[in-house]
């Protein structure tokens, strides 16, 4: 009877030591946000996907317009530069409107959409700030030589970088979420086949 008691005590001791490690692992894996949620509203989540795609397209347009200014800026007079920036600003404003719409329904979105919204908001704020600064410099220094000696080139670079980062983030997160949804659907299909 004594050997069984020792085996049981040893087993309980090992389990007691392993239990905290298991609890630690369980708590870290539960912090990873789910792709889907039962709290999400299907209609709002679908609308959000459409808005994210639209924002991505607009950010690509901003990046393209501002990228031209990076390359051709020294060749264009200030009025041509102002025209390009005005077009880019119109797209940035549309992104801002889309962002406001998404923030109104944020709690009804999928977790990945909420996370994406949080990630791209600083990009928009940076674009707006840099855009206003660049337009102000164009208004004050209506001469391309003077513009080159101000922060204007850095403003243009920061707009480009923020637009680029926004498009990369939207594309990456959206593709990841789509892949996760496909994997979940495959697992569900495989589980049905196994249980049949």
pLDDT at residue 180 greater than cutoff 60: yes
Q: How confident is the model at residue 32 (pLDDT cuts 50, 70, 90)?
A: very low
16, 23, 26, 74, 179 from 29: Cα distances, Å? 21, 10, 5, 52, 19
Token code pair at residue 41: 């509203």
pLDDT band at 149 (very low <50, low <70, confident <90, very high): confident
Ordered by where they begin, the domains of the chain are: 42-181 (1.20.120.230)
Q: What pLDDT shows up at residue 29?
A: 35
Tokens coding 111? 């977790």
Give percent of the chain with pLDDT exceeding 90.
Answer: 52
Tell which residue, 102, 119, 116, has the closest CA to residue 176. Answer: 116
Question: What average pLDDT does the segment 96-120 reach?
Answer: 95
- Residue 147: the pLDDT is 82
Is pTM beyond 0.85? Reply is no
For the chain, give the mean pLDDT.
Answer: 82
Closest CA to 74 of 152, 135, 7, 12: 152
């Amino acid at each position: 009877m004594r050997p069984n008691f020792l085996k049981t005590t040893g087993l309980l001791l090992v389990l007691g030591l392993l239990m905290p490690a298991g609890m630690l692992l369980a708590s870290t894996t539960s912090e990873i946000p789910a792709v889907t949620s039962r709290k999400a509203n299907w209609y709002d989540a679908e609308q959000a996907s459409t808005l994210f795609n639209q924002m991505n397209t607009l950010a690509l347009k901003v990046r393209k317009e501002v990228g031209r200014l990076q390359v051709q800026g020294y060749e264009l007079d200030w009025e041509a530069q102002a025209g390009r920036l005005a077009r880019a600003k119109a797209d940035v404003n549309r992104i801002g409107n889309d962002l406001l719409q998404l923030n109104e329904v944020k709690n009804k979105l999928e977790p990945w959409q909420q996370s994406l919204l949080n990630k791209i908001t600083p990009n928009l704020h940076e674009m707006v700030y840099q855009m206003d600064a660049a337009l102000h410099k164009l208004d004050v220094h209506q001469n391309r030589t003077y513009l080159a000696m101000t922060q204007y080139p850095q403003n243009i670079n920061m707009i480009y970088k923020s637009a680029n980062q926004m498009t990369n983030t939207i594309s990456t997160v959206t593709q990841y979420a789509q892949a996760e949804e496909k994997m979940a659907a495959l697992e569900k299909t495989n589980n049905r086949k196994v249980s049949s």
